[in-house]
Amino acid sequence: MALKATIYKVDLQIADMDRHYYAEHNLTLARHPSETDERMMARVLMYALNAQEGIAFTRGLSEADEPEIWVKDLTGQITLWIDIGQPDEARLRKACGRAGQVIALCHSSSCDLWWKQIQSKLTRLTNLSVLQLPVADSQALAALAQRTMRLQCLVQDDEVWISTDAERVSVRLSPLKVAAQ
């Protein structure tokens, strides 16, 4: 018998002073049986940092042709594609062809090795940004994971804090590649 996804409920309050975005989102996440708390919380982080009209979680790990998160405009075009992990070159090329902007977030200890192997192959992808979440920050976020969460995300001067009523985690994303403006 196949394992089923575990459902997580997240009440996410966002105060992004850099983008002037202030909102509350009630999210339902289906955590795939093979997904870790670190990966799930990386999805929540990227949702918070890119929240806007049209943003949605996709089927993610269950669907190879979809990102973890996307933003679609009113015509159904993908304006933002967000992948979590270490996608291969072909997947990133395909994503850059389908979406206006693509972001890949790497959150594991093998990020540096993955990036060294793939970096030179991605120079022509002008709509691609690649970010690295340090392992310590990823683990600290994972420690916040609960089946029902109330999270606050504060962004100010490119600094990010994710907090609960009991804990506060500072997150420092390192850009490995920045999309052309």
76 belongs to a structural domain: yes
Q: Domain total for the chain?
A: 1
pLDDT at 5: 82
Task: State the residue range of the domain holding 103.
Answer: 6-177
CB count in 10 Å sphere of residue 171? 21
pLDDT at 63: 65
Distance (Å, rounded) from C-alpha 89 to C-alpha 61?
17
1 belongs to a structural domain: no
pLDDT tens over the chain, length 181 residues: 567 889 999 999 999 999 999 999 999 998 888 889 999 999 999 999 999 999 999 976 566 789 999 999 999 999 999 999 999 999 999 999 999 999 999 998 899 999 999 999 999 999 999 999 999 999 999 999 999 999 999 999 989 999 999 999 999 999 999 998 7
158 belongs to a structural domain: yes
pLDDT at 62: 61
Distance (Å, rounded) from C-alpha 120 to C-alpha 73?
31
pLDDT at 124: 92
167 belongs to a structural domain: yes
